[in-house]
Amino acid sequence: MDTRSELQATVDAMAQPGKGLLAADESGPTIAKRFKTIGLESSEENRRAYRNLLLTTPGLGEFVSGVILYEETLGQKADDGTPFPQLSARNGIVPGIKVDLGKIPLALAPGDEITEGLDGLARRFVDYKRQGARFAKWRAVYNITASLPSRLAIEANADSLARYAAISQEAGIVPIVEPEVLMDGDHTIGRSAEVTEAVLHEVFNALHRHRVVLEHILLKPSMVLAGSEHAQQSSTADIAAHTVRILKRTVPSAVPGIVFLSGGQTPEEATANLDAMNRLGPLPWNLSFSYGRALQEPPLQAWKGQASNVKEAQAALLKRARLNSAAALGKYDASQEKS
């Protein structure tokens, strides 16, 4: 298959109406932080057992079209000996990989950050593809204060995201472009909207300059909402209205799918907000989820590292996947939370 057909086939399989992604790509330090909440040591076997639980959830493929894995998981095997990427693909879930190497302070720009990982990326893609990865993810992070992010941070991160996306497409791998405007801070929803608009505008400008084919990417943005320390927390209706307005201004309709991160929202909030946005349709893109915490918190807390809790944990994951699938169609009913 030529590269374009390959990218098209992958993006078609991922951006299916009513399906979203499971972000299970926590880095070593992040998964250790998550395991700490259940008093579990982050050993290689515990990480494998946890990812095994998630990926062997019966019926997950009905609601989830792709899973983002961390490099270590891409090379690990399920209980039955099947490598995780092959297991996912067999269940109708496209396997992908987080390829950025995390963020560091942006030089000469106090408070801003930049994501690393471009050097050698084309070479790394050869191995990832051989292991079964069909898409990739790169996360850029923007902190909000009265003066941040700086123009420099907005431009430098847009350039890195676009370079990554171009290298990814050349390798026949669909890039998920993730600019995350953090919800930490006491800023208003208006300030979040202003920053998100500037960030997305610059990202699409850079994607164009780097010749990235918009039909073959997915955008993974944050929702527009007041900072988590702001006195007035945003309502579902306000989050939906602000987010859709900013996306319409900045994201070309050639982009097939927008899959949100949850960023620290509770599982119920993340579902309700996605649903409210889809009820504002028709929208030019498929609007869905690529949640980490909002899908995994309930199963992680149910599991507690005990084999005897696996079934209960899988039921908790399947429930969130099912409710988010409904929200991706604007058909979520909050009364289903009790079932």
Active site residues: 178, 220
- What phi and psi values does residue 150 have, to the nearest 5 degrees? -75, 160
- Pairing label, strands 218-219, 113-115: unpaired
Nearest distance in Å: CB 187, ligand 13P: 18
| Identity of the residue, 6 or 319, whose beta carbon is nearer to ligand 13P in the bound complex | 319
Q: Please give the span between the terminal C-alpha atoms of the chain, in angstroms, as a whole number.
A: 45
Say if residues 234 and 225 touch (Cβ distance below 8 Å). yes
| Identity of the residue, 6 or 98, whose beta carbon is nearer to ligand 13P in the bound complex | 98
- Site residues for ligand 13P per CB under 6 A: 23, 25, 139, 178, 261-263, 291-294
- Pairing label, strands 94-98, 64-69: parallel
Burial class (CB in 10 A: 0-12, 13-18, 19+), 37: exposed
Say if residues 23 and 261 touch (Cβ distance below 8 Å). yes
Using Cβ positions, the residue closest to ligand 13P within the complex turns out to be 292
Say if residues 333 and 326 touch (Cβ distance below 8 Å). yes
Nearest distance in Å: CB 259, ligand 13P: 9
| Identity of the residue, 83 or 102, whose beta carbon is nearer to ligand 13P in the bound complex | 102
Q: What does the alpha-carbon distance between residue 281 and residue 122 come to, in Å, rounded to a whole number?
A: 38
Angle at the Cα of 211 from the Cα atoms of 19 and 209, rounded to 5 degrees? 115
| Identity of the residue, 89 or 274, whose beta carbon is nearer to ligand 13P in the bound complex | 274
Q: What does the alpha-carbon distance between residue 288 and residue 328 come to, in Å, rounded to a whole number?
A: 5
| Identity of the residue, 25 or 197, whose beta carbon is nearer to ligand 13P in the bound complex | 25
Nearest distance in Å: CB 220, ligand 13P: 7
Nearest distance in Å: CB 10, ligand 13P: 18
- Whether the upstream peptide bond of residue 149 has omega within 30° of 0, thus cis, is yes
Nearest distance in Å: CB 5, ligand 13P: 28
